[in-house]
Structure 1
Amino acid sequence: MADAEEAFAAALRDVIVRYPGRPALGPVDLGVAPGEILAVVGASGAGKSTLLRLLAGLETPSDGTVIRGAGRGRIGFVFQTATLMPWADVLANVALPLELAGAPREVARRRASTGLAAVGLGDRLSTRPRQLSGGMAMRASLARALVTEPDLLLLDEPFAALDSVTRRRLIEDLHRLWAGRKPRPAIVFVTHDVEEAVYLAHRAVVLDAAAGRVVAELASPGVLPRPEGWRADVDYRAAVERLAAELARSMTAIPAADERGS
């Protein structure tokens, strides 16, 4: 077990989640290495969000083992919506995890200010969440997740509600922030978008629509961060088509009523 913990930032081993009156999720076997970016794709109801909650320790498996390995075990989580406190300004929102961890307020806010500057919100410290655009709110949420310098960053379709231009900019920002950290955090990124998955990650896994098992794994070509114009690269386009085909294959037997969540 010690060797396994060293090899992975986090992993699921023979994990099954059972729900009363619903199909079980799993068994799932999945690992993410330190510094690796992993994309998870699958149909709605395949259990993608459940997988993230298991990795984060927010949900307990019915069977199997959740491994949290290399590093200090710090985890950052970015949800589908920004989940910022509406009554507090952006600086207070981002400083909150540090203050909850016991950091003095002055230290927490100084680090939060630095984190907000890194995502392009250095001039919005006193802004309330309702005054932010969707892209800005997600940047603030990303800064909040990164401010504790996590070893594992979990992102649950954080860009799904944004326009394509803003999504692309945020992906580039995520790559830049990941590349600038030493050591680099592991990232698990849930998405429905196969182009986003191939562009963002070192590799992508596909969850079966019927049971949430990993049914395909594809490595993305090229290096991260991506060079300018890489979306037009023939290897990228071919990888997108391969992943799209695997996703379509995984959806051939979608249950009629599966309420496991996305």
Structure 2
Amino acid sequence: MPSTVQVCLKGAVVRYPSLSHSLGPIDLSIASGEIVALVGASGAGKSTALRLLAGLETPAAGRHEHAPGTRTGFVFQSPTLMPWADARANVALPLELSGVPSAEARRRADMALAAVGLGDRPEARPRQLSGGMAMRVSLARALSVEPDLLLLDEPFAALDSITRRRLIEDLHRLWAARAVAMVFVTHDVEEAAYLAGRVVVLSVADGRVVDDIAMPGPLPRPANWRRDPAFLEAVETVADALAASMGLAS
């Protein structure tokens, strides 16, 4: 596999007894340091594709490949924090489970919390955090392993629009500092077009990649990018591709 590729799926097929059809084959390649958004209708297999990329699910056919030594962080739809533990302990957990000594795990947890703007809240319990703060703790937990690949499964879906926008800016800032490859699942075409350098559209019929669209403009986004005609055109391009993937194109 070329050294510029962080992870890829080659003809990956998933079969579920509850479905009358298979998902795939899915062909998808993620380069080192790029941000890719996955969009598709409900049931298109976006979360399945993310699990395949993470190696959490094994394809029935085809294969999953990643660059040697790839470290992966995963941010789920809900923060999934231990309610009895403070933010530092929640972030340190994957490190401790991997054998990192407790003192070092806590030090790295504090660094990760500082990176997401929660350096002053290491002892806060989940019940003391807003939804956006709890998601930042979840993001810090994923970053604590110093990932080469960060996978995010609609992590902002339950948050208000202003908090979502702030967290997307945080992701861009973290990406600029670490150059980590990111794959972000979303239903929101504007979010996809703003966040990513590429938007990949999956078919609702079988989860295959039906469109792969390069987004204009630099990352992180410049000020007022949401008002730029190039961005507005990109949003419409993604919306049209999504509609076509659902059989709704005019």
- TM surpasses 0.5: yes
Aligned mates of 2:117, 2:18 — CA distance in 1: 46
Aligned mates of 1:111, 1:152 — CA distance in 2: 18
Displacement of 1:94 in angstroms is 0.4
Contact 1:5-1:68 at 8 Å conserved across structures: no
In the alignment, structure 1 residue 249 sits paired with structure 2 residue 244: yes
Please, what is the CA RMSD of the aligned residues?
1.0
In the alignment, structure 1 residue 142 sits paired with structure 2 residue 139: yes
In the alignment, structure 1 residue 66 sits paired with structure 2 residue 64: yes
Equivalent residue letter for 1:201? A
| 4+ runs deviating over 2 angstroms | none
Q: Which runs of 5+ in 1 are unaligned?
A: 254-262
Aligned mates of 1:226, 1:166 — CA distance in 2: 17
Contact 1:5-1:67 at 8 Å conserved across structures: no
Among candidates 50, 73, 77, match of residue 76 of structure 1: 73
What does the per-residue CA deviation read over 1:15-50, in whole Å, with 9 as the maximum and x for residues that have no partner?
111111412000100000000100000000000000
Displacement of 1:87 in angstroms is 1.0
Aligned mates of 1:12, 1:140 — CA distance in 2: 29
Aligned mates of 1:125, 1:198 — CA distance in 2: 33
Aligned mates of 1:87, 1:21 — CA distance in 2: 36
Displacement of 1:101 in angstroms is 1.5
2:209 aligns with: 214
1:257 aligns with: none
In the alignment, structure 1 residue 116 sits paired with structure 2 residue 86: no
Among candidates 94, 97, 100, match of residue 100 of structure 1: 97
Displacement of 1:191 in angstroms is 0.3
Contact 1:38-1:187 at 8 Å conserved across structures: yes
Contact 1:95-1:144 at 8 Å conserved across structures: yes
Equivalent residue letter for 1:132? L
Q: Which runs of 5+ in 2 are unaligned?
A: none
What does the per-residue CA deviation read over 1:38-72, in whole Å, with 9 as the maximum and x for residues that have no partner?
000000000000001111111110000101115x2
2:191 aligns with: 196
Aligned mates of 2:162, 2:215 — CA distance in 1: 22
Aligned to 1:9, the other structure's residue is in SS state strand
1:171 aligns with: 168
2:153 aligns with: 156
Aligned mates of 2:64, 2:52 — CA distance in 1: 7
What does the per-residue CA deviation read over 1:183-237, in whole Å, with 9 as the maximum and x for residues that have no partner?
x111000000011101111100100001000001110001100111111000000
Equivalent residue letter for 2:165? R
Displacement of 1:5 in angstroms is 4.7
Aligned mates of 2:50, 2:208 — CA distance in 1: 14
Percent identical among aligned pairs is 66
Aligned mates of 1:204, 1:234 — CA distance in 2: 18
